[in-house]
């Protein structure tokens, strides 16, 4: 029996073991292969093409527009040169800084409220029962509907604008963080309990720590919403900020200024997104392998 086994295996042995089998050439991957693979060079290149096409589409549309209407759709160069003019001559950087300051401060305060509340509600079912109907309901109120109220209470101040930005994202943020905390596997909490961990320890060192990457992701998504509220916030009694500059542009039909503002917000949004991703990369090294 042993003998037959041995002869069978010797059939598979190579005579000249020094030579390796030739390299296998897999079929070339099609551009639209299902799911497929993409390396970082390709991914950057393709993303670049996407951006270029958008600007190309814009530029071509401008040239196809009848001449007397072209001022309503300025070209890419007109908008960028206008932006350059705004930055160099009009102190636009101050407006940009002001808007960034409003977004980040209001969002910081929103996190200061939403994270503890979300963690509390996600960790203790009775806290959830206490707050959820209220927070859930408030989510359906459009933030813009608070504008008149904020004007009466706070006047045309910075606080009014930041309060609007705060209201625009805080309730959604609570709901998202609540979901993040509740998504922590029950077994993780129970295993901490069988180690003798206190409730305090479990809430902060297990549940919160476990949900932290997802919470940062929720924050990244909600700060994007904050950016979308920026113009609404700065329309009201606008004196400074990107939104105010855009509204002034609208009054004098300076479409290039409006489009410059949109472009600025877009770029700042992308920068914010990237900075959150970089933060996640350094704060949560354990998630790197998964991404």
Partner 1 sequence: MSLLKKNYHSDRQKALKAGQKEGKFPLAVNRVRKEYLNGERIAVDDMSLNIREHEVTAMIGPSGCGKTTILRLMAGLEFPTRGNVESFGLPIDGPAPERGLVFQAYTSFPWLTVIENVQHGVAIQGYSKVEQRERAEHYLELVHLTDFANAYPDELSGGMKQRVAIARALAQDPNILLLDEPFGALDAQVTWEMEEMVVEICEDTDKTIVLVTHDIQEAIYLADRIIFFTRQPGRIKEDISMEFKKGRRFKKKEDLLTEPGYVEMEKHLYTLMREEIQGPLS
Nearest to residue 53, comparing CAs of 76, 34, 74, 24? 76
Q: How much of the chain is helix, strand and coil, in % rounded to 5?
A: 75, 0, 25
Instruction: Please choose, out of 40-48, 84-92, 194-202, 220-228, the segment that lies near partner 1 by the rule CB under 8 A.
Output: 194-202
Q: Of 247-286, which residues contact partner 1 (CB under 8 A)?
A: 284-286
Alpha carbons 28 and 25: distance in angstroms, whole number: 8
Q: How many residues contact partner 1, by CB under 8 A?
A: 23
Q: Segment near partner 1 (CB under 8 A), from 58-66, 202-210, 220-228, 242-250?
A: 202-210
In the bound state with partner 1, the residue whose beta carbon lies nearer, of 8 and 187, is 187
Contact between 51 and partner 1 by CB under 8 A: the answer reads no
Contact call for residue 210 and partner 1 (CB under 8 A): yes
201 binds partner 1 (CB under 8 A): yes
Cα(191)–Cα(196) distance, integer angstroms: 9
Query: Is residue 17 within the footprint of partner 1 (CB under 8 A)?
Result: no
Q: For residues 106 and 210, which CB has a smaller minimum distance to partner 1 in the complex?
A: 210
**90 vs 199 by CB, closer to partner 1:** 199
Binding to partner 1 by residue 291, rule CB under 8 A? no
Q: Are 259 and 79 in contact (CB under 8 A)?
A: yes
Per the document, the length of the chain is: 291
Look up residue 264 and give its two tokens.
């600025």
Half-sphere exposure of 172 (CA within 13 A, CB side): 19
The rounded distance, in Å, linking the Cα atoms of 235 and 143 is 14
Question: What are the E-state strand segments in the chain?
Answer: none
For 124, the 3-state DSSP assignment is: coil
Selected from 38, 112, 183, 195, the binder of partner 1 by CB under 8 A is 195
Does 183 bind partner 1 (CB under 8 A)? Our answer is no
**Least distance in Å: CB of 237 to partner 1?**
46
Q: Which stretch binds partner 1 (CB under 8 A): 155-163, 206-214, 229-237, 242-250?
A: 206-214
The 10 Å CB-count burial string (b at 16+, else e) for 170-194 is bbbbbbbbbebbbebeeeebeebee
The verdict on 209 binding partner 1 (CB under 8 A) reads: yes
Determine the longest span between alpha carbons in the chain, in angstroms.
97
Selected from 6, 14, 25, 290, the binder of partner 1 by CB under 8 A is: 290
Cβ within 8 Å of residue 189, ≥6 positions away = 202, 206, 207
Binding of residue 289 to partner 1 (CB under 8 A): yes
Q: How far is the CB of 120 from partner 1 (least distance, A)?
A: 18
**By C-beta, is 43 or 191 nearer to partner 1?**
191
Smallest distance from partner 1 to CB 185, Å:
7
Q: Is 217 a binder of partner 1 (CB under 8 A)?
A: no
Name the minimum Å distance from CB 127 to partner 1.
Answer: 19
d(CA 235, CA 6): 86
Residues that bind partner 1 (CB under 8 A): 185, 187-188, 190-191, 193-198, 200-201, 206, 209-210, 212, 284-287, 289-290
């Amino acid at each position: 029996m042993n003998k037959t086994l041995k002869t069978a295996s010797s059939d598979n042995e190579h005579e000249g073991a020094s030579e390796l089998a030739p390299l296998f050439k897999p079929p070339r991957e099609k551009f639209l292969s299902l799911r497929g693979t993409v390396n970082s060079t390709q991914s950057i290149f393709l993303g670049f093409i996407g951006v270029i096409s958008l600007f190309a589409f814009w530029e071509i549309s401008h040239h196809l527009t009848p001449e007397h209407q072209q001022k309503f759709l300025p070209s890419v160069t007109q908008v960028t040169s206008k932006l350059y003019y705004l930055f160099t001559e009009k102190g636009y950087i101050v407006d940009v800084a002001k808007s960034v300051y409003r977004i980040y401060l209001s969002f910081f305060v929103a996190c200061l409220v939403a994270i503890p509340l979300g963690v509390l509600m996600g960790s203790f079912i009775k806290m959830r029962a206490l707050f959820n109907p209220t927070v859930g309901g408030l989510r359906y109120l459009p933030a813009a509907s608070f504008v008149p109220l904020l004007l009466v209470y706070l006047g045309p101040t910075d606080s009014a604008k930041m309060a609007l930005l705060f209201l625009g994202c805080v309730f959604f943020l609570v709901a998202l963080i609540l979901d993040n905390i509740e998504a922590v596997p029950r077994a993780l909490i129970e295993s901490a309990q069988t180690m003798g961990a206190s409730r305090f320890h479990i809430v902060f060192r297990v549940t919160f720590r476990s949900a932290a990457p997802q919470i940062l992701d929720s924050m990244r998504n909600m700060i994007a919403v904050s950016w979308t509220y920026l113009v609404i916030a700065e329309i009201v009694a606008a004196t400074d900020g990107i939104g105010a500059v855009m509204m002034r542009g609208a009054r004098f039909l300076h479409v290039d200024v409006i489009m410059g503002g949109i472009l600025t917000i877009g770029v700042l949004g992308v920068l914010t997104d990237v900075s959150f991703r970089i933060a996640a990369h350094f704060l949560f090294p354990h998630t790197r392998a998964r991404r």
